[in-house]
A and B are shown apart, each in its own frame.
Chain A
């Protein structure tokens, strides 16, 4: 087998210029059952030809000592081991038994990592009917979906009083009516942090500290910030332009001004929105 071995180059020295090739193994079904077993794929990849490269020790002895959590100190007296390990920084707990770690087969997904889905009929520019909240019954325009998954909508405020606002998909009916908002430029700063409810600093400090004047009056009522006004005006202007440009502008305007309600004899499950 010598000539054959000489022809094929070593695995690690393979030409790097080759384009990324198709994976040799593939999943058969959704549970990731692979077509080729580990032994078979070892043969298919000719992995027996790949020489294992020894990686040198990364840390030197001194660095290891510096990184350790304790220092080894010599102590006097006899029949006591001669040295002790002294913690550099006393840990919060000094367990007497090694705690058995539960194996996390599937790590917990934090909220940030959750997959955000959106209903297929909700696209930017769609007219939505709000079903709950302060603005229930109003027909609003969907601008985009924010990172948290909430929808960013606006009346426009000029037409029905609904400002730039976050709204949950669940409390919304998506209608088939669409407005072309490709020319509407949304300000960059419209994100979840922008709409986050502001808690007064004093109160939050008090709740954290525990000692504060509990009879302290809560701060003044909510006042619209200047940047909110600015953004609302900018978005409204662009959106009104888009509404005007779309077919049947005047009707669309009065449509967005009107409120939605279920009339007698109407069956929502049988209605097309």
Chain B
């Protein structure tokens, strides 16, 4: 079990995993009960609504929000904290974006990607081969005496 540092608290930034708003981040504005919270994401297009915790994945970000803040306040705090840039800078968001791009590749894109990989791999293997050659040449030198003895 990892660090227990992501709490369900007012101001916690959460990622919505399923439903109509899946893929977006929002802030927890209020806690309703054990399982549900009031979320609001004015800057990310998430309407103020009650949401089940099962749908949310907590992020590491936290806004200094007073509880039951209205949408305008949430927006102000979100913009002040520059959460949009911070979120898109995380590896989580980058991985999501990479997955989205890969899924939207057309047949021609897939071909281009494969071809680009092939070209890069060829460059790498050629460089590797030349490196191996020079390093093996270096290794062979100390054995010169041994060879002479055998002869």
Contacts and interface: CB of A to CB of B under 8 A. Distances in A.
Interface of A: 127, 129, 139, 173, 175-177, 248, 251-252, 254-255, 258, 260, 270-273
A179 to B, nearest CB: 11
B85 interface: no
A251 B106 contact: no
B67 to A, nearest CB: 42
Top 7 closest pairs, chain A to chain B, by CB: A177-B108, A176-B106, A175-B107, A273-B107, A255-B111, A272-B106, A272-B104
B47 interface: no
A125 B106 CA distance: 16
A271 B115 CA distance: 19
B20 interface: no
Interface of B: 103-108, 111-112, 115
Contact of B111 (A258, A270, A271): A258
B105 A272 contact: yes
A272 B111 CA distance: 13
Contacts of B106: 175-177, 272-273
Residue of A127, A252, A270, A272 with most partner-chain B CB within 10 A: A272
29 contacts: A127-B107, A127-B108, A129-B107, A139-B107, A175-B106, A175-B108, A176-B106, A176-B107, A176-B108, A177-B107, A177-B108, A251-B108, A251-B111, A251-B115, A252-B108, A254-B111, A254-B115, A255-B108, A255-B111, A255-B112, A258-B111, A260-B107, A270-B103, A272-B103, A272-B104, A272-B105, A272-B106, A273-B106, A273-B107
A271 B104 CA distance: 8
B99 to A, nearest CB: 12
